[in-house]
Amino acid sequence: MGNYDLIIIGGGPAGLTAGIYGARSSLKTLIIERGMPGGQAATTYEIANYPGFPGGISGPDLAMKMYEQATEHGAEFISGEITSMELEGLSKKVVVDSKEYYTKTVILATGAEPRKLGVPGEAKFRGRGVSYCATCDGAFYRDKHVVVVGGGDAAVEEALYLTRFASKVTIIHRRLELRAHATAQNKAFANSKIEFILNSVIEEVLGSDIVTGVRILNRETNLEQVINCEGVFVYVGQNPMTELFPADLNHTPDGYIITDENLKTNIPGVFAAGDVRKTVLRQLVTAVADGAIAATSALKYLEVQE
Ligand code: NAP
């Protein structure tokens, strides 16, 4: 139970940065996160494009430093599952594991979660060969053949990471061109452990107790083929995490929250930051910038109220 000036929902880079800025502005600030702090950054092996770290920095290390910085400045942090929220009105209520928290402002920074392929076998073999996190599970596939599904930055970068363990990594992508940035593409093309199967989609994940392969379809030739493999890493994009958000919160057809340039939503006192928001770029650097802007906007909103 407690009364806050600012409650931040989500403890990824956007939420933790909002926590740093909120607490440093003397707002009584609470960050609520259902898992570990750091969001997707905490499950990214290496982050190569965050300014200030030539040579890259470990995602878990950077996430932990952001968490330490937020709490060092006075932001409170709790881990728990939100069961309901009421965001209208001057006093907003967030319920976490049946405890009620009240606040004058809210920043929604829940991020996004891996999109599923939605094919037979995917759910059945999740944790038994199907994974959405190479950093978490890659080491289980030492000297094994794994496939990575997708052609974006995440698929190609995580495929490169998986070559540390796997004997072979096959990237299966539905088009002929990859979407990933050129540096990652060039590294992948040059890596002798990586093979590509393009223009192809996975129709089924095969196995008995554990994954033994995937059945794929070439979209051009219409030919089916079974690829034997022990692991399937799915990187086909993300969906915003918006469950429990009120239906009258403005959002795009695919669920991303619409804000103005101050990161205000259409509900007074409610702001959004990071990957959950409709934006032109979803990167660590934009998430932390969002966190700073959202917390500053929350402060201005409170100043006007008082
Ligand atoms: P993404 O950029 O949306 O790419 C998703 C990939 O999966 C695309 O290649 C897409 O194919 C494919 N795909 C989507 N649905 C599919 C389906 N049902 N079956 C098969 N393939 C499917 O997603 P992401 O790679 O997860 O990246 C998300 C965001 O994070 C992006 O903005 C990305 O730039 C950013 N990110 C950046 C970095 C970095 O800067 N180092 C690292 C990771 C992520 P099509 O190409 O045909 O659409």
Instruction: Name, in order, each residue with C-beta under 8 angstroms of 290's C-beta and a sequence gap of 6 or more.
Output: 14, 17, 109, 263, 272, 273, 274, 277, 279
Residue 1 pLDDT exceeds 70: no
Backbone φ and ψ of 269, nearest 5°: 85, 0
**Nearest residue to 171 via CA among 141, 202, 142:** 202
In this prediction the pTM is 0.86
Residue 104 pLDDT exceeds 90: yes
Backbone φ and ψ of 155, nearest 5°: -60, -50
Instruction: Name, in order, each residue with C-beta under 8 angstroms of 96's C-beta and a sequence gap of 6 or more.
Output: 32, 78, 80, 81, 82, 83
Residue tagged active-site, from 137, 153, 275, 290: 137
How far does Cα 285 stand from its chain's mean position?
A: 13
Nearest CA to ligand 1 atom 38: 153
Residue 136 pLDDT exceeds 90: no
The token pair at 265 is 């939503």
- Residue 46 confidence (pLDDT): 86
- What is the per-residue DSSP string for 203-215? EEEEESSSEEEEE
Tell me the average pLDDT across 6-27: 98
Nearest CA to ligand 1 atom 41: 153
Q: Which residue has the higher pLDDT, 58 or 43?
A: 58
Residue 286 pLDDT exceeds 70: yes
- For the stretch 167-212, pLDDT in tens is 999 999 999 999 999 999 999 999 999 999 999 999 999 999 999 9
19 pLDDT tier (thresholds 50, 70, 90): very high
Beta bridge partners of 201: 217
- What is the per-residue DSSP string for 45-111? SEE-SSTT-TT-EEHHHHHHHHHHHHHHTT-EEEE--EEEEE-SSSSEEEEETTEEEEEEEEEE---
- Please, what are the domains in the chain? 2-113+238-305 (3.50.50.60), 116-234 (3.50.50.60)
- Residue 2 confidence (pLDDT): 84
- For the stretch 47-78, pLDDT in tens is 989 999 999 999 999 999 999 999 999 999 99
The answer to whether residues 272 and 107 touch, using CB atoms and an 8 Å cutoff, is yes
105 pLDDT tier (thresholds 50, 70, 90): very high
The answer to whether residues 231 and 129 touch, using CB atoms and an 8 Å cutoff, is yes
The answer to whether residues 135 and 43 touch, using CB atoms and an 8 Å cutoff, is yes
Which runs of consecutive H residues, i.e. helices, occur in the chain? 13-24, 59-72, 134-137, 153-162, 182-190, 284-305
174, 205, 282, 285: which to mutate for ligand 1, most atoms within 8 A of CB? 174
% of the chain exceeding 70 in pLDDT: 100
The residue written with tokens 């905490």 in the block is: 42
44 pLDDT tier (thresholds 50, 70, 90): confident
CB-ligand 1 contact for 183 (6 Å cutoff) = no
- Residue 229 annotated as catalytic: no
How far does residue 81's CA lie from ligand 1's centre (Å)?
28
19/8 Cα distance (integer angstroms): 7
- Residue 48 confidence (pLDDT): 86
Residue tagged active-site, from 97, 136, 248, 260: 136
Collapse the DSSP code of 115 into the 3-class scheme (helix H, G, I; strand E, B; otherwise coil) and give the result.
coil
**Nearest residue to 140 via CA among 230, 11, 256, 253:** 230
- For the stretch 218-277, pLDDT in tens is 999 999 999 999 999 999 999 999 999 999 999 999 999 999 999 999 999 999 999 999
Nearest CA to ligand 1 atom 36: 153
Nearest CA to ligand 1 atom 43: 154
**73's torsion region: left (phi>0), alpha (psi -120 to 50) or beta?**
alpha
The answer to whether residues 203 and 172 touch, using CB atoms and an 8 Å cutoff, is no
- Residue 204 confidence (pLDDT): 98
Sign of CA dihedral 8, 10, 11, 12: negative
Residue 120 pLDDT exceeds 80: yes
The answer to whether residues 253 and 170 touch, using CB atoms and an 8 Å cutoff, is no
The answer to whether residues 278 and 114 touch, using CB atoms and an 8 Å cutoff, is no
CB-ligand 1 contact for 155 (6 Å cutoff) = yes
